[in-house]
Chains A and B, each alone.
Chain A
């Protein structure tokens, strides 16, 4: 396959970036998208140029490192995959592919296609946990039965990999799918009830502090989410926040 890549290049956070065009040839349809970028980088290095920086690690769709806004979509045109699992067979010979970083003011660019997603970490510091110390003497795992339905729903919310595609794809750069998923996981489990009020208030407050936009329910995040996290989680977070405020 022969392709034209249009890639966002930006030396560091302070510099202004721009789109640079790279023609590339000899791409196999069985390559993953990142392997295609590997090929480009090996060429750039040998030619004495700076390789394109992009985040990646596990390359099996679970660590949430990889990002990229490909032809106007987070993680590219395929559904339910991260960029590392997107394969070149989804493109046609001769295609022009735009590759940009995930954009939001809360995700500042570090270099080229790499952005700083530590805002997500800070939201979790604010309340993304259950306050239980490690003792080895917590009660038995089966002491509180949890209905299969609730456990499954909590699991569905918990599959979020924190990649930030929801923010990147949202026209408002809203992080509510991410926060909603975390709030939901704990809200659905009995263990999470004790701190439910503080958790949702603190996490939402931190989310706002980080400068994410406001959800307008376009549903784009749910479509682009590589793990298919449902919009129901945002609704659940909204309910939790209403509940928390009514309790005071």
Chain B
């Protein structure tokens, strides 16, 4: 009876977003234009079903006193060196995340249903949105690192696509691409980590890596030495840094505010931005093994918080201000994880997600809210407490700090000019070498890469 219930509820939790993405995606592929009403209904139904089933699962676990339920959908690949098992874990970490996902996505879905009314990209929005929910559920419930990676990728893809939702203007497309490239770095790190774990433990299942204990009592498999834990942990940390906009990747978060308000709310106020923290929580036993890793995590978290609260202080638009506020909290959460305060971090994530989503959804009402506050207070509202006075420390320091904050800690510029540009230069050089080499081999003349330009940069010197 218990097992049957677990299987059924588990399947429903996973199936609800799957069905949603299949229907919406399938219709888009087949060129069927569903009416807005139908899409709205479908999203509501799926979210409600998923939420109900997750609550059922929670109730079940509370009734039976189990701390971890596993839904296994069989071995999909099984060869001597490798197996891939589709496995979902319901435990004290994943259940709250799943509940949060369904509840927020359901509410924001209902919001978007009216907000996006008559928008040409209505169906596209909900298609990508469904992909996001699907990815989010897969990633949070994943029982193996491969499954988690699959969900992780879908979250990243949908996120970048929604940033670039208004692709008729250049700036969303540009910023979407920037988000996407940071995500790729983070994806690559996660992939490397998973390969490394496979190599060491021989399996990507959390059961093996974390010794079959329910969260947060798991501890790293005995094969993982502190040094290994540090290395693998660094890779995981790197991917979390990309996903959660930690220093030095923070620059993309305010830029991600190009999409429609509801997607900004649910992605960057609530779910997507916490996914990195979730990953760290999932692998928190590694932190126990390696104090160095724990310290690094804490330092990065704190650095993010400091930068974000500095930059947040000078923001003049509501969405950037909110995104830096989010970033500051995510930094704190990561620092908490580094310090081993796991339940603390979990509660922090849940509270922060709900609160920030509400704030994001209310962002366009800012002027209205301000006039209410002003009328109540009977005077003009000013958030400013004057400019920060650091001139006692060093003259000009306050100005310097202001500019530092206004330019968001120069992180974007540093990344672009000192990482991206040299990399691009390197690739271009390689490309040129390759062309020269093939030209040499085939005996052809080297053609100018852009034949429409009569002369190259040379004649400018």
Tell me if chain B binds chain A: no
Tell me the B residues contacting A by CB distance below 8 Å.
none
Tell me the A residues contacting B by CB distance below 8 Å.
none
